[in-house]
Amino acid sequence: MRLLHLLPLAPLASYVSAAALTAVLAANNASLSTLSTLLATVPDVVTMLSSAQNITILAPSNDAFTKLMARNPNSAQLMQNPRLLTGVLQYHVLSGKIPSSDFSTTPKFASSMLTTPFANVTGGQRVELVKVNNTAMIFSGFKQGSMVSVADVMFDGGVVHVVDTVLTVPATPSDTAVDTGLTSLAGALTAVQLVDAVDALSDVTIFAPSNAAFAAIGGGLGALSTQDITGILGYHVVQGVKFSSDLLQNGQITLGPTVQGGNVTVRRENGQLFVNSAKIVLADVLSTNGVVHVIDNVLNPSNTTATPNPSATTQSPAFGGASAVAEAPFTSGISPTTTFVPATVPLNAAGGAFAAVPTAALVLGAAAAMLVV
């Protein structure tokens, strides 16, 4: 239900000329007092923000924090830890002054101030900025959506946008898999002891097969050795962070080498993106070390010439002889801790119909889980 978004919002004082950040916060105390109270506990952050130039602050409203506390009572404790609070706040500060007019139907991936030890993304962990149905939105970890409720409040150092949901700090690829329902992938990584290795990478793109993708070849998995599975999983990981906006060009792009050594081919067909013959069904899920794109087939490093049939709704598996199984493989022992419902957003305006943007799920559980590590 989107009722929350329909509630009247307290109007923000707007400024013809810019003012100091502290003055902007004080003038808008009615909607930003929780943020001000939290900031008061981390004076270094206030000093940094007050002297910074050319930044964008995504300021969670009081309602955003109320929603957060209601969904995850542990978040209150997290906020009392200055180190962790600083991490969460850094993720809400972006490089560059990005007015709402810069949000478009093609997503942009802006750099935040969140870096190591909470992210292994060169230039700072990213947020996705995109206009959905003419509304400026931000997608963060687990593809959780935040709506800009009040845009373009100018201050000396840049611009503030008030957001209705606290951003989720992106989690490791393995936690992202577990918590977005990619339990076969999480189980496969666990089975061949690749979890730590994949999570420790920096600046990567991971093509993450859905559970249905693994089930479609489940009958053939028993014949594979650990080495085979390691090679197959490694073939899904490419060095370099490639967002959908980097891939959405006409013609085909070769990405590689993958961790396995081979290349993959990305094609744009009818506004959809395919990796070899697999379709990207959910793009741009941010993780600690880059980005995850969910695909509908397991990639086969021995079948690099597999090509998609863009008019088919499902693609033939890239493992010729493998039969399907009913139960998603590798999932025993993998229990999702929290169910996040990732938002589905179109690749771009020309990419077909808008999918609904689901209500953001349990938001700060993720930040807590990740930041506490």
Ligand X SMILES: *[C@@H]1O[C@H](CO)[C@@H](O)[C@H](O)[C@H]1NC(C)=O
User: Which residues in this chain contact ligand X in the complex, by CB under 6 A?
Assistant: 26, 29, 33, 54, 95-96, 117-120, 132-133, 172, 199-200, 254, 256, 262-263, 277, 288, 300, 303, 306, 316, 318-320, 354, 356-357
Q: How far is the CB of 111 from ligand X (least distance, A)?
A: 7
Q: How far is the CB of 266 from ligand X (least distance, A)?
A: 12
By beta-carbon proximity to ligand X, the closer residue of 331 and 370 is: 370
By beta-carbon proximity to ligand X, the closer residue of 248 and 318 is: 318
Closest CA to 218 of 293, 297, 277: 297
User: CA–CA separation, 50 vs 236, rounded Å?
Assistant: 43
By beta-carbon proximity to ligand X, the closer residue of 74 and 135 is: 135
User: CA–CA separation, 28 vs 84, rounded Å?
Assistant: 25
Q: What are the Cα distances from residue 43, in Å, to 48, 54, 78, 145, 196?
A: 9, 20, 17, 29, 35
Q: How far is the CB of 255 from ligand X (least distance, A)?
A: 9
Q: Are strands 264-269 and 135-139 parallel, antiparallel or unpaired?
A: unpaired
Q: How far is the CB of 292 from ligand X (least distance, A)?
A: 14
Q: What are the Cα distances from residue 231, in Å, to 190, 300, 324?
A: 14, 9, 21
By beta-carbon proximity to ligand X, the closer residue of 299 and 331 is: 299
Q: How far is the CB of 121 from ligand X (least distance, A)?
A: 9
By beta-carbon proximity to ligand X, the closer residue of 182 and 331 is: 182
Q: Cis omega (within 30 of 0) on the bond before 60?
A: no
By beta-carbon proximity to ligand X, the closer residue of 338 and 344 is: 344
User: CA–CA separation, 75 vs 81, rounded Å?
Assistant: 10
Q: How far is the CB of 335 from ligand X (least distance, A)?
A: 21
Chain centroid to Cα 221, Å, comes to 30
Q: How far is the CB of 72 from ligand X (least distance, A)?
A: 20
By beta-carbon proximity to ligand X, the closer residue of 47 and 302 is: 302
CA angle in degrees (0–180, nearest 5) for 19-84-187: 130
Give the CB-nearest residue to ligand X.
320
CB atoms within 10 A of CB 167: 29
Instruction: Look up residue 107 and give its two tokens.
Output: 């997503």
Q: How far is the CB of 288 from ligand X (least distance, A)?
A: 4
By beta-carbon proximity to ligand X, the closer residue of 31 and 72 is: 31
Closest CA to 190 of 127, 182, 131: 182
User: CA–CA separation, 362 vs 68, rounded Å?
Assistant: 8
